[in-house]
Amino acid sequence: MTFLPPGLRPLRASDLPEVMRLEPVLFGAGQWSRAVYQDELALPDRCYVAAVEGSRLVGYAGLAHGIDASVMTIGVDPAFRRRGHAARMLAELIARARAAGSESVFLEVRAADGGAQALYASFGFEALGIRRGYYQPEGADALVMRLRLRPDPSPGPVGAEAVEEAKTMGSADTMRRAVLVTAEELAELVSESDHARRPVLLDVRWSLAEPDGRRFYLAGHVPGAQYVDLDHDLAAPASREEGRHPLPDLETLQAAARRWGIDDGDPVVVYDDTGGTSAARAWWLLRWAGIADVRILDGGLRAWSESGGILEDGDVQVVPGTITLSAGHMPVADAEETAAVPSHGVLLDARATERYTGEVEPVDPRAGHIPGAVSAPTAENLDPGQRFRPSEDLRRRFTAVGAGDAEDVVVYCGSGVTAAHEVAALAAVGVPARLYPGSWSQWSADEARPVATGQA
């Protein structure tokens, strides 16, 4: 039986009426016919997957695999974009190509579609050049991109079992690597001779106990990193109406990103010294603002030092960047939407258990949790070394709380900071989730909103 991550299933002949409805919406006058798709689904060297929300097909993608594999089509219903469907489908196609022994994956993307190009670049695709598009509507210009696949040299099972394992591990590995970077991988990236491949490094040290991490940054940081002030750069001023860490306005965030030296297309790596629990806020917010390639240093500063990475002290001066940000590239939920989630999906409370039950509340106006929420503390995403737990462990954890294949997953915490870590952990195993930015600090400040206590 073929393994597929949550939110994906094989594309079936019974899906073709819906595919035919979406084809002209997604691909204009150059769409394929139903007969073409029927032929494609029957070919042994083809792999087609569907992205689904509940029982609804919301996207589809296809691969022709051989020594050189080609992404034949990939598209998501406009009403369901910015929920990670395209990334999950692409990850699966890459895994299938690797399992089939392909050495490269090629695709073409409309030359004017910068958003899709950024997505593909985040997976490691490199641009080869512009040509008259074969798969594009009315032969529009397309950018051809290629991903070189590195075969796994490690020994393992043979035959069909090996293929199935490669599909499972390849897909999981690709999803995880789109969110996280190891210290060893980061060391390779920062030594890249190609400046375009070197990431902008952001030091996001912060905690409730010590919100100003600048003095720690000045004492020692990953070489070249810029300091990010979470309270001022990654949040608007606190208020009773919006919570302790409201989303910043786009102009403020863009000014900060330019100050850090980020240009359009730059990859970004964020880190802290608390397992990514504050760096994830930068990860989420920069992706929300349209930067496709943002990853969290797994294990943070501790992992960097343990891998032999050196630290530098003092401030780092960089040339200001020219990045242009745009809002809305990560899904959010407001208080009203969050209240409705338990009726059709899963609402996760990422705070410590004792805050969820209402036993303690050290910061916010009232103790307890949003009715219908399930306790899923962010701290349980991490192992004792402050690294993200293995993907299989995370998948089991989220399945146990009902989020493995839920139609809608929303996460909140105290003020929208550590909940971003939970969104990242979910994304690393292929589960899309919305963030409730106001979180408990906003909810509990409104006396009209109900509060539950104890275990659910």
Residue 154: partners with Cβ closer than 8 Å, 6 or more residues away: none
The residue among 132 and 146 whose pLDDT is bigger is: 146
Indicate whether 320 belongs to any domain.
no
Do 280 and 269 fall into the same domain? yes
- How far out from the chain centre does Cα 217 lie? 26
Pairing of strands 8-10, 46-53: antiparallel
Do 295 and 239 fall into the same domain? yes
Q: Cite the DSSP H helix spans in 191-341.
A: 214-219, 230-233, 250-259, 279-288, 300-306, 335-340
Per-residue model confidence (pLDDT) at position 209:
77
Per-residue model confidence (pLDDT) at position 8:
86
Domain end, chosen from 177, 212, 239, is at: 177
The residue among 156 and 252 whose pLDDT is bigger is: 252
Per-residue model confidence (pLDDT) at position 53:
83
Per-residue model confidence (pLDDT) at position 162:
34
User: What is the percentage of the chain residues whose pLDDT exceeds 90?
Assistant: 66
Indicate whether 43 belongs to any domain.
yes
Do 126 and 193 fall into the same domain? no
Angle formed at CA 299 by CA 297 and CA 303, multiple of 5 degrees: 100
Domain end, chosen from 162, 177, 192, is at: 177
User: Residue 105 sits in which domain range?
Assistant: 8-177
Per-residue model confidence (pLDDT) at position 155:
34
pLDDT at 154 over 50: no
Task: Pick left, alpha or beta for residue 434 (phi over 0 → left; psi -120 to 50 → alpha; otherwise beta).
Answer: beta
Indicate whether 318 belongs to any domain.
no
Do 104 and 31 fall into the same domain? yes
Spatial separation of the C-alpha atoms in residues 352 and 453, rounded to whole Å: 13
- What is the mean pLDDT of the segment spanning 315-320? 92
Indicate whether 325 belongs to any domain.
no
pLDDT at 153 over 50: no
Do 168 and 190 fall into the same domain? no
Residues designated catalytic? 413
User: What's the pLDDT band for 149 if we cut at 50, 70, 90?
Assistant: confident
Do 245 and 339 fall into the same domain? no
Q: Has this prediction a pTM greater than 0.85?
A: no
Structural domain count, the chain: 3
CA distances from 6 to 54, 82, 346 (A): 11, 16, 14
| pLDDT tens track for 398-419 | 999 999 888 899 999 999 999 9
Three-class SS of residue 65? coil
Per-residue model confidence (pLDDT) at position 349:
98
User: What's the pLDDT band for 26 if we cut at 50, 70, 90?
Assistant: confident
Per-residue model confidence (pLDDT) at position 33:
87
Domain end, chosen from 144, 161, 177, is at: 177
Pairing of strands 56-64, 68-76: antiparallel
Average pLDDT of every residue of the chain: 87
Indicate whether 132 belongs to any domain.
yes
User: Residue 430 sits in a domain of what CATH number?
Assistant: 3.40.250.10
Spatial separation of the C-alpha atoms in residues 270 and 282, rounded to whole Å: 7
Q: Name which of 77-86, 196-205, 257-266 the model is least confident about.
A: 77-86
Do 368 and 241 fall into the same domain? no
Do 72 and 127 fall into the same domain? yes
Indicate whether 1 belongs to any domain.
no
User: Residue 36 sits in a domain of what CATH number?
Assistant: 3.40.630.30
Indicate whether 99 belongs to any domain.
yes
Do 164 and 194 fall into the same domain? no
Per-residue model confidence (pLDDT) at position 343:
94
Do 15 and 126 fall into the same domain? yes
Per-residue model confidence (pLDDT) at position 150:
59
Torsions phi, psi of 117, nearest 5? -60, -40
Do 289 and 391 fall into the same domain? no
Spatial separation of the C-alpha atoms in residues 290 and 326, rounded to whole Å: 6
Indicate whether 452 belongs to any domain.
no
Looking at the DSSP assignment, which residues form a beta bridge with residue 64? 46, 70
User: What's the pLDDT band for 200 if we cut at 50, 70, 90?
Assistant: very high
Q: Which helix (H) or strand (E) holds 296?
A: strand 294-297
Do 122 and 160 fall into the same domain? yes
The residue among 200 and 120 whose pLDDT is bigger is: 200
User: What's the pLDDT band for 99 if we cut at 50, 70, 90?
Assistant: confident
User: What's the pLDDT band for 159 if we cut at 50, 70, 90?
Assistant: very low
